[in-house]
Each structure stands twice: as C-alpha cells, then as structure tokens.
Chains A and B, each alone.
Chain A
Amino acid sequence: MIHIVKRKEMPFAHAMAIRFGVIGLALIVCGIVTMLTTGLSPIDVYGTMVSGAFGTMRKTWILLQETAILLCVSLALVPAFRMKFWNLGGEGQILIGAFAAAACMITLGNSLPAPVLILVMLATSLLAGGVWALIPAFFKARWNTNETLFTLMMNYVATQLVAYFVIVWEVPKGSGNIGIINQSSEAGWLPTLMHNKYLLIVLVAIALTVAMYVYLNYGKQGYEIAVVGESPNTARYVGIKVNRVIMRTLVISGALCGLVGFLLVAGSAHTLTTSLAGGRGFTAVMVAWLAKFNPFIMVGSSMLLEFMSSGAGEISTIYGLNHSFGDILTGIILFFIIGTEFFITYKVVFSKKGAEQHV
C-alpha cells in the first residue's frame, strides 16, 4: 500500500539543497542528451557552455543584461501570481510597452530635448503596459472572466498591433523593418553609464528586485495581495476591496512589463519588432514559479535559464546545430525542477498491511 502524505514545512535550507541537487542531476541528463545528439564528451559540452556564457568580458555582460531583463519580467509578474492571478500576458504587455516607447522615439524624436523625451517614453510605456493588463483584470474582477486565457489572447492582439505599426513606420519602405531608430541623433537612447552600455539595465533590475521584495513583504498592499491570493472570501470579510486589489495589482504588473519594453527599446535593441519580447513573458512565468515567487531567489533562477540558453547557443554555433537546442535543454531542466516540488511538499509512505493502524 502506497500513500502520499503532506510534509510538515521542510526547513528552507533543506528544500533549497534538494532543488540544487536536482538542478545538478538535470545538468547531467542535459550533458547526456547533448552527448547522444552531438557525439561530444560531456566535459567538452560543459566547457563550451561555460565559455559561451562567461568566456569573455562582453559575453559575461550580455549574460548579465539578459538575466536582468528576464528578472525584471519575472518581478513584474510576481505580484499577480501571488494573488493567484495567472498573468500569461507578459509577452503582450512587454510588446505594447516597447511599442509606446518606440512611438515616442519616432514621433517626438526631433522635437523634445533628450531627457524630457526619455521621461515621456518611460511614462507612456508604463501606461501602455498597465492598460494592457488592466483590461483582463477588469473583466476578471467584475465578471470572473478566465484570466489565463484572456491574457494569453491579448499577447497576439499586441503582436499584430505592433506588426501593423512596423509596416507603417518601416524604413526604408517595403523592407518590413523599422531598423535602428534615431541612429544618428540617438534621441531617446538610454545613456551609457561608466562607458558600459549594459550596466544601467542591470542596476534597474537590482533596484527593482529589492523594491519588489519590500513591496510584497512589508507593505499593506503586499499583504492585501497575499490575502486575496489565499482566499478572496477571507479578504472580503476583513474588508479588503477585492476588485480594487485585483485591478491595482495588475496595473502594477503590466506597467512593470511595459518598463521592460521601454528598457528593450531605449536601452538595448533601439528598434521595434514583433519578436522583441522573445518569449520572455512565458519564460518569466517559469522563473517566478521556480523561485516560489521570492524575488531574491528569482535572481538565481533567471540566471540559470539565461546561462542555459547562452551556453546552448554556443554549442549550436560551434557544432553547426540549430539554435533551438537551448530550448530542449531548458525544457529538460524545467521538467526536473517541476517534478521535484512534489517531493518537497509531500512524502510517499510505503506501509505494510498490518502496520496501517499506525499511520
């Protein structure tokens, strides 16, 4: 007779040790999979991955920047997830924020002084992302419309909206691309700090991590989010206006996604494409969940996923394989971690027939 018992709260250090052990195990499996498909020795595989991620100063900075961006998206989604509101619309909210920033750069690029322009871009991006998330939140709050599916659909509406404007603004006409915006004037580009064009985004991510931790754990609003997430009825009973909390939280969530869009356009890509968000809205869901919605652990989980994708990218470049190899490895690691949670939350008890009264 096998049955499953919920564990008492496992010590935090113990649980983290299990998770790291599993990540190690998953890396071994990834090595074996790579070996089977490419015929390389696992040590070469890991060596290539590490040099792909940290090989040069520039690669390290790119990894840090990518981690920072993914981390920001995850931080944006966390308040919604703590409320058990499945915001799968990060992708669309990023895109719409990027769209707002690019729109300001293109239409106002020549008429406003640079600092004002950047502030205007920031404000419109935050607003656009917030509104994009508020729409599903409003329907969820008023009529309990399924938010998972609604936010998912909003992604594609945003994609097509961007596709429309990419053609409207394409340079040169007929190319289907916007190209680098304001290449000569650099209007609306974020400044480089200490001659390092990656540093600013990393600093924003660090600040946001701390701010989000404080907001969720030490503020009244963070508390309200937690109560609504655990039980909307309890929240109503203690006088929390559930509808307002849902909408307010989603505006914050969407606005932060919009911020990421702003960072992508103004800080790194300097252009607008439909694939600008690059699946981060979905990857961030997994980053946040892996970290149990703890902002500081999310630093580690986003770093892990970005390391995997840049490392696998290096493997595919060197051995002439397709770049999607990284997605396969990421998938394997995710499956391992997803599976582990069960053994952290529950334990399996094997009991013999005669011993059952003791259980």
Chain B
Amino acid sequence: MFDFLVSFIPRAVVQGIPLLYGSTGEIVTEKSGNLNLGIPGVMYVGGICGVIGSFLYERSLADPSQMNAALGILIPLLCCLLGSLLMGLLYCFLTVTLRANQNVTGLAMTTFGVGVGNFFGGSLIKLTGADVPSIALSATSNLYRTRLPFAAGLGWFGQVFLSYGFLAYAAIIIAVLVSYVLNHTRMGLQLRAVGEDPATADAAGINITRYKFIATCAGCMIAGLGGLYYVMDYANGVWSNDAFGDRGWLAIALVIFTIWRPNVSIGASILFGGLYILYLFIPTGKDLAVKELYKMLPYVVTIVVLVFSSLRNKRENQPPESLGLPYFREER
C-alpha cells in the first residue's frame, strides 16, 4: 500500500498541477463576476506561446543544450504570460467594455485558443522552414524539469514532495497567495464585492471596470501557466495536438468542486489528478472498457457537489451573485 502511494501520489500531482493553475485562474476571474468559459482556450494559448518562444530561441542557438539557463526559462515564461494576457484583454474588451454575452465570448475564445494551439503546434515547423521532424524542446524542458539536487537521495520523502519542477511549487504558492489576497486584504474584499453586487460596489466608489479587467487578465495569466507547465514539464517539451485534452473544462469543474476557494483547490486538484489517472492503477484485468467509466468520476463528483451546494443553500457556498451577468451602470 505504501509503495503504491509513493508511486501514485507524484503522478497524481503532476496531473493536478495544470488543473490547479487553471482553477486558480478561473476562481480569480469568477470572483469578479466574469464566467470565463475561454479558460480551456487560454491554457492552449499559454502552452503554445511558451512553445513558440522556446522553439525560436532554441533554433537561434547553434547548440541548444548550451543555452543560457535564465533566458531558457524566462523567454517561454514571458511568451506564455503575454499570450494569456492578450486573451484576457480580448475577453475583457468584449465582455466588459462592449458588454457582450460572457458565455458566447468564452466559447468563441475556446474555439479560437484551441485552434491557435493546434494550428501552430502542427504548422510551426513548416511556417519557420525548420528541418526538424517534430517539436521536441528537450533543452528547455530539462531546465523546467530541474529538481533539487539532493531530492533523489531522500527516498520516499523526496519522491513524494521534492520530485517536481519549479512551476509545480509556484502553482501551490500562487494558490495560497490568491487565497490570502481574496480573503484577507482590502483588494480581495473589493474584488468579491464586485463579483457579488457590482451596483453596490460601484456606489461604494469601487472602479468596477478596473477590477474586472485586472482580475480576468490575472486569472488568464495564471491559467496560461498551466498550459506551459503541461507542455514543458509534464510532456517533456513535446507538443502534440489535442494532447492537453479537456483539462481546461476539468479546471472549471474544480472551481465548483472547491466552492471558489483556491487553497482548497490545492488538495482538490491533486485529487482530480488522481481520479484522472486512477484507471491506470485499478486492476481491471482485460476489461479495458471499465477504465473509461472511471474517467467519468471527476465529472460525476463535480455534479454531485454542484447539486449539494445548491440543495444546502448555504450563503457562503454559492457562486458569486453576479456571475455571468454583465454590468451596465446605466441600467441600474
């Protein structure tokens, strides 16, 4: 049992980290009253922008394995943040400035973002005229996958707690920080006020537009890092189309599952990561079909949580009151 956990937990964690990024980003966004269904697209864009940045940088060098470590990490990171930021700005411009419907805008962003990811993932080599068979950014990936040097010597402790790249720890730190900011600072209080009742917040002198823009863009940037983590760390720097799958939607499910709490999301995303790969560990013998049913678990669990939180109707467990609704000051 112990050996099983030591091998299972690290795999659940690496599955969970992209979900944690996605859900933390979406929580920040939803707290401002914006239901951003474009998160799956944003995560694709974040991933592919990192890939493009690192691909161009690696190609500009004669020998990629000799690259400057700081640049090798910073270039993909900044490209990823920039790409996600642009997606966030687009969403905000359409829904906040132009008051468009959030569901439609979000779905369009997902179509667009997944398209951008798969298009550049599939055509980057042809577009740049490179003579490599596939996008394999092993040099960059090695930087992202750098472990603490002494972790390997610590036995099970090292394997469970110290066997991850720096982005995994960053995800947890960001989630804790976001949780603190939301619940213990004036900025967080004002942000929650915007999401609950923008008219009241407006009357109290809070700049609704600014809060919605900042929260949504920050949320997109956090979510984009999930895409970067996935391709650079989990996938060893190899981009394959549609490999990221429906993790973006799973991240949105996590937001409900954790009832809009980023600190709960740390454990919950690892749990979801575990559920996502549980089928690999359950001895079903030759019956491959049952494994497909196990993959259903995260979604069923989310539905159950959604139903129960509406059944019990506790005020602190509800979605932000104005979630999904645009705010028109003139229509008060």
Contact = CB atoms under 8 A, between A and B. Distances in A.
A binds B: yes
Interface of A: 3-6, 37, 86, 88, 139, 143-146, 148-150, 152-157, 160-161, 163-168, 279, 282-283, 285-286, 289, 320-328, 330-332, 334-335, 338-339, 341-342, 345-346
Contacts of B90: 335
A282 B111 contact: yes
Per DSSP, are chain A's interface residues mostly helix, strand or loop, or mixed?
helix
Nearest to B312: A143
Interface string B297-330: 0011011001100110100000100001000001
Interface of B: 35, 37, 90, 93-94, 97-101, 103-105, 107-123, 126-127, 241, 246, 249, 252-253, 256, 288-290, 292-293, 295-296, 299-300, 302-303, 306-307, 310-311, 313, 319, 324, 330-331
B292 A167 contact: yes
Contact of A330 (B115, B120, B123, B293): B115
A280 to B, nearest CB: 12
A320 B253 CA distance: 37
B307 A145 contact: yes
B103 A153 contact: no
A268 B136 CA distance: 38
A283 B111 contact: yes
Which 10 pairs, one residue from A and one from B, show the smallest C-beta to C-beta distance? A327-B115, A331-B112, A322-B122, A324-B118, A160-B296, A167-B289, A342-B98, A334-B108, A163-B292, A145-B310
B121 A154 contact: no
A37 B52 CA distance: 14
Contacts of B112: 327-328, 330-332, 334-335
8 contacts: A37-B123, A145-B306, A153-B302, A160-B296, A327-B111, A328-B116, A331-B108, A346-B99
Contact of A160 (B104, B249, B293): B293
Nearest to A135: B303
A334 B111 contact: yes
A342 B100 CA distance: 7
B306 A338 contact: no
Contacts of A149: 252-253, 256, 302, 306
A345 B116 CA distance: 31
B252 A139 contact: no
Of B35, B98, B241, B246, chain A has the most CB atoms within 10 Å of the CB of B98
Nearest to A165: B289
A311 to B, nearest CB: 14
Nearest to B35: A148
A130 to B, nearest CB: 18
A167 B288 contact: yes
Contacts of B116: 324, 327-328, 331
Contacts of B119: 321-322, 324-325, 327-328
Contact of B306 (A6, A146, A286, A334): A146
Of B93, B115, B127, chain A has the most CB atoms within 10 Å of the CB of B115
Given A325-B119, A328-B115, 15 more contacts: A88-B37, A143-B310, A146-B256, A152-B249, A153-B253, A153-B302, A157-B296, A157-B300, A157-B303, A161-B293, A282-B107, A286-B107, A289-B104, A331-B115, A334-B104
Nearest to B113: A331
Contacts of B118: 322-324, 327
A165 B290 CA distance: 9
B252 A324 contact: no
Contact of A341 (B93, B100, B109, B253): B100
B131 to A, nearest CB: 15
A336 B289 CA distance: 44
A164 B290 contact: yes
A152 B121 CA distance: 27
